[in-house]
Chains A and B, each alone.
Chain A
Amino acid sequence: EAAVTQSPRNKVAVTGGKVTLSCNQTNNHNNMYWYRQDTGHGLRLIHYSYGAGSTEKGDIPDGYKASRPSQENFSLILELATPSQTSVYFCASGDWGEGDTQYFGPGTRLLVL
């Protein structure tokens, strides 16, 4: 199974502060994704990337930026964190050549006070 890691695993931030969530995958997948998970909403796509240097808006991109500096790394950036961004964030990677399967990281629990 693909290895996807996330850091930090838990984060407490203050309203208005900057938060960076990091994701690393070691399987040379082209595609990477950031989701947030909230009760009653399932997993919602925030940003995704086709490869190094590319970022695309997902279904709920407002308030978030993304950065893909390399094949392995994909970051999610909250420039001005708000309490509504309190959630569990999952990174995933995948490749069309592997049949569209997406492999998820362990998640980051973010609490914005």
Chain B
Amino acid sequence: GEQVEQLPSILRVQEGSSASINCSYEDSASNYFPWYKQEPGENPKLIIDIRSNMERKQIQELIVLLDKKAKRFSLHITDTQPGDSAMYFCAASGESSSFSKLVFGQGTSLSVVP
């Protein structure tokens, strides 16, 4: 089945700089790639997603890039703020589009320091 690798597991950046998280997947049939943010003690919340018919998507300071040939996708957070500190998970849909079954990466703990 689908497997998703997420790196780095820990990321520490200076406030105002950019943060990048990278994910790779195995199943070329995967067509949906969401990113979730999880704050301590909270549930994961969808922050941005991208489908296989797109290569780039931006929502405010969040940018997602998708390289289908390389089976890689990435999240870039520009102008990071302390409120961006959290766990981030990437995921890929592991089944056909008739049913959404997500496979998650291992997570990245992002710390934004002043």
Binding site for B on A (CB under 8 A): 31, 35, 40-45, 48, 50, 58-59, 90, 94, 96, 99-107
Contacts and interface: CB of A to CB of B under 8 A. Distances in A.
Interface string B52-78: 000000000000000000000000000
A31 B44 contact: no
A100 B100 contact: yes
B113 interface: no
A31 B106 contact: no
Nearest to A90: B43
Contacts of A96: 97-100
Nearest to A101: B46
Interface of B: 1, 6, 9, 32, 34, 36, 42-46, 49, 89, 91, 93, 97-107
B1 A42 contact: no
A107 B44 CA distance: 10
A58 B2 CA distance: 12
A104 B99 contact: no
B43 A102 contact: no
B55 to A, nearest CB: 18
A104 B43 contact: yes
Scoring B42, B45, B104 by chain A CB atoms within 10 A of each residue's CB, the highest score goes to B104
A104 B98 contact: no
Contacts of A40: 9, 106
Contacts of A48: 101
